[in-house]
Structure 1
Amino acid sequence: MPRFILGLTLLFWGWQTGLWIFAIPFALVVEAAPWWPSRWDFGDDDFKNIFNFCIMLFLIVGVYFFITSRNLETGYLFIRLQPIFFLLLLTTQLYSNRDRISILVFFPFLSGEQPAAVGVPFPSTGNLSTSAEADLALDLRYGYFGLCLIAASAANTPGYGFYLGMVALVMGMLWPGRSRRRGGGYWLLLMVLAATLGFGGSLAVNRIHRAFEQQVINWISDYYRQDADPYQRDTAIGELGNLKQSNAIAFRVSAADRARVPKLLREATYNRYQSPLWVATEADFATVQPGNTSSGDPGSDISSSKISSSEISSNPPESTGSGQWLLDPSVDPVTLAQSPNRLTIAGNLREGKGLLKLPPGPVLLDPLQVKTVERNPYGTVRVEGSGGSLVYGVVFDPRRNDDAAPSEADLGLPPGERDVLEAVVAQLHLTEQQSQDVPDLLTQYFQQNFQYSLDLKATQGNLTPLSSFLLETRSGHCEYFATATTLLLRAAGIPSRYAIGFSVHEFSPLEQQFLVRTRHAHAWSLAYINGAWQTLDTTPGEWIEAENRVAPPWAFVGDWLSFAGFRWGLLWGQLKQINVRDYWWVLMIPLVVILLRQLDFQKQVQRLAVNPKATIAPPPDDWPGLDSELYTIEQVLAQADLARKPSETLGHWIDRLQSLPDASPHLQSLQPILDLHNRYRFDPQGLNTADRQRLRHLSTTWLQRWHQGTPV
């Protein structure tokens, strides 16, 4: 390792983390080691004990942080402290008589014998066992260097200082090992180019990280997403920033005739606005009784026309009935059996409870395998069953609407919005129009003068968020449009309610059904005109395109995985309904195969014929030339203070020795030995017998003359 690089790395760690009180003395201790006049002879047990001490210190501090403060910042702080925990282990090596430590000291289970520590860089001799032992040796300085960089990165200091400092330190570490075939300038140019590309790559990775982080947040929010509260709805009216929407698939909708699938599926309805909340008053739920499909019941004909078995819920029946629930008992079940308005909705029932997504005028739920079904006066349907997937069929009549008749609450206006609402009504002359003409006028007003946006802007002056939307910004999402429309209808004397649910518009050719995503959540108004509740959606049509632009380019991957999970859920549901006892013979097939293999006498005889005493030839040596006598010469010269540096090749080492001012004449005669060694070590053809004997003879002669001091 280059001189001073470890000390500079510790100072860099102190700069990034602010832990100068540790970094400066640590750097001095580390860099003073080469000049220290003495060394200690630490044994393997000493290194093992020190390593265990460092690990225990690491665990104690980690457990303390986990108990006292469980947050992300504490985790980063713990990473920044890593160089403190293992400094003692590093200094033990630096001030010992060993430059490497056997890995078996730290992982004794890798070998049955306790190894000796290694102190000579590989390859040290021609002895193969010593070289194999050196392969398991570690120089702790390199590991500590990387540990300091990781600890410095956990500080997450703003600016480019970390990247530039890391590049400089890595270049300093790699400088001694650069290729000598090119000049240093060429090497520096390549390193600068690599660092530049790495910087650009780091920016790209940072963007990918942010996108992935946002996607994880979406996944977590989808997983923990709660169904709508039937009693109140907290809108984003008045919030600032960009409204985040998830691309996850919430549920699927299929029908025999795609044209009969309604554009909106309602989940809940509210009748009182308390900014930014919508509240459902007097919204008590009443229990819906299950249907009866026993023999002789006219409703039994419905079962024969239910959704196909491949689309039925994977949950086993839990209700006391047959999975059929009449939302309007006055309707003739036989007539419903012939209705073409039939949907199948496949979603999830989180924590065993939830609200159903229903089309306008639902009259029959069949099949729906749950324990209980409840409905409130505003058409919100709540069910309770087991958690997991839930698939249900719905028969509906768009002309019917069984929601409760209007009350005073359906004409109520919030005091803070009344003046602005009445001003807009007067501007549009809504009170002068026929009731049935008001929805078209409001739709035209919002379509021509407003735009859809997910960017939530601040209000101006003392205006409320809704008043600012109507008078100034004229930009917002569906909750703004639905709330404003509902209140404007009331200001015009028309009872109205606020409804939420989902828009159904994305058809999947792969699945041959509609996909409804979380970002397809929508809000609209219900207006009571001519004795019936009518749906009124004034949100500009471009909202769908705006939502589609939010979808990430890799959304198709999640769609494929979701579809695979959906199909597997259906298949698993069918498998759970199969009586295993009817297919006992399938389980017997592997047992019969095993029995037939046991009766294969010929194979058993052939196995017994194998000679157990036969020995297997050892594999050929993958590294020829390790027994070259030049390694012995290297060891002898090392004892004479002429050791080869760790970064030097044998050729550069011998050239350096021959260029010394007081070089011995013996060093000039090493070139023929080196040439034969390189052929023996690296040439695929190796050495023939004569050349191999010549290498041995030249090396032996050289060693004899070196020890005798005889001139060459």
Structure 2
Amino acid sequence: MKVPPLIIGAVLLFWGIETENILIGVVLCLLLEGSNLVTTRYTLSEEDFIKVADLTSLIFLGSVALVLINYKPVGFLRITAGWLPLILSPLIVAQLYSTSDKIVIGTRLGKKKKFHAHKPVDFRFYYLTICIFAAATGNSRSLWFYPILGLFLTWFLYHNRGRSFSPRVFIVFIGASLGLGYTFNAGMEIAQRQVMEKSRHFWRDYYRDHNSDPYKSHVNFGETGRLKASGEIIMRVGAPFVPPLFKEANYSVFAGGNWLGSQGKFEFFAPLDETTWDIIAPPHKDGRTIGVEYNLPKEKGLLPYPHGGYRLKSKTIFEMEGNSNGVVKVLDGASVISYDLLYHPEMQSKKDLPAARNLTIPETEKYALQEVVGQIEISGLSAGDKIAALKKYFQKDFSYSLGFLDKGDYDTPLGNFLLKRKSGFCEYYATATALLLRLYDIPSRYVVGYAVIEKSWLEKKYVVRKRHAHAWAEAFVDHQWVVVDTTPADWMEKDMEKTSGFEGIQDLFSLLRHQYRLFRIGSGSDNTLIFSIIVIVLTSFLVLRIYRRMKIKQAERGKDIVKRRSFDRITSPFTPILDLLSQSDVVRVENESIVDWVTRIQPWNDFDRDEFENLYRLHLQMRFDPDGLGVEQTERLRQGSEKHLRTLCHSTTTEA
């Protein structure tokens, strides 16, 4: 495939505009298209090409590492592909500025002496294709993207079209193809919207990983079971003493197997200064301080914090809001937020009071709840003693498991859990506890968050993993909300049974990645500049090494040229005649035969034109024919040449 001049530079400019890397696109364009203006070329050996390929491989691996450290895996392919024009630039530069029209791609990495190399290839076509795909990763959604892409395609195909097709026919066919392509693309976009609309629920798990829904939670979708299988660290807590539970959200109404929030209005938290917010209005009690580092991939979401948290300080959180139920949402923050939280177990917002919904029980659940209440002796007990009796009941006959429960022979899954199976995960215990408290006329609500139970020997901090996601109930007793967690205490040990044997290694890499993210966020540096500097330094180092080798090769090449020029001249008996004719002032015109030229130089008497022309042909045959002349032909050439040379010399002497 032939690559038209200037098209690579044009596509690089297009890539720079689409990906907002205009400066890099312009520099690459000038560098590559400058090869059409610079006449100097360098002799690169196969080993030099291998070094360029190895350098490019190292740059690519470094780029992959930077992308994995700085971005979520979901964007890995798009981001890496977007930088390929810069990453692969050493290969195309080596080809365009070398004496070869192809490049050898191979490697010495991992080998001491030998290297593996592919056949030479013209990398220009592949680089052009890569640049076009890289431009598409910018996802600018510009209306000009497809027309410009069509222009490049037409430009390339026109230079590679068969000569049997006239330009007019080519334009008609390429125009029709581009039109059909645009129609198909528009249809695919519509179809994509429809598919995304129909499959929204498949993404529910992804969003649940990072943000609890402040308005709705589901007991029977197995969300907690899925989280329990993951050992990924999402939060780190540093303090001598840490509260065991961090709340994210709470819910008041249970209906149809779902917990629904109060949908209270969120209000903006006005900062006390640039880094401090009050979660609970003053006055405050003297509390303890804990330091928290929490992954916030979407840079917004619910804030986990312990019961009684009242003041927060952070340089990585910029805006927050909260509602009257104590749910706090980060509106704008870094991808990893670090905050110091002051808390006191007795602190509570004066606005966080129960309502009628905190005593509501679904009719479909009452039969099972009343049967359980009949098994517990609670008459005459205080609210605190009723809670203690509930905890004792669940500790006696119930067990922990991650199995999914259906309704079985009962009206609801909760009835099956309470009356038959008596085994489930934390969501079932929290739901049953909250509803049983309401039968005792104790206002309650359902709470989701995380258990802070594991201290890392590696980090010397408490670490919270996805499997530490937890649910419990809160009861309003003595004018404040208190935690009521009836999940069997061995739930942590049973979750640990699913721990991977490689979790220690994963924790090490997680710590390294986390520390780098903290450094990047704290320094405010842009890794694009660092990446560019690394590429430039490594490329310059390799170019210097190759240039030193090329100077040696150029010197050797010069010696070869001198040596070739010292070869002996191939002559024949006819050569003296040509040398004598060349001294004449009569210049041989273009396309003039040698016989006509000789006739113009000197009119000869009895000049045999045919014989002279045959002798000239024998002279050319002797010089250029690999088989040379036979003995008879050589003798005829010698005798004829001597005859005409004497005649020519005699005519010249007479004239003088």
Q: Which has the larger radius of gyration?
A: 2
What's the TM-score, normalizing by structure 1? Answer: 0.45
What's the TM-score, normalizing by structure 2? Answer: 0.49
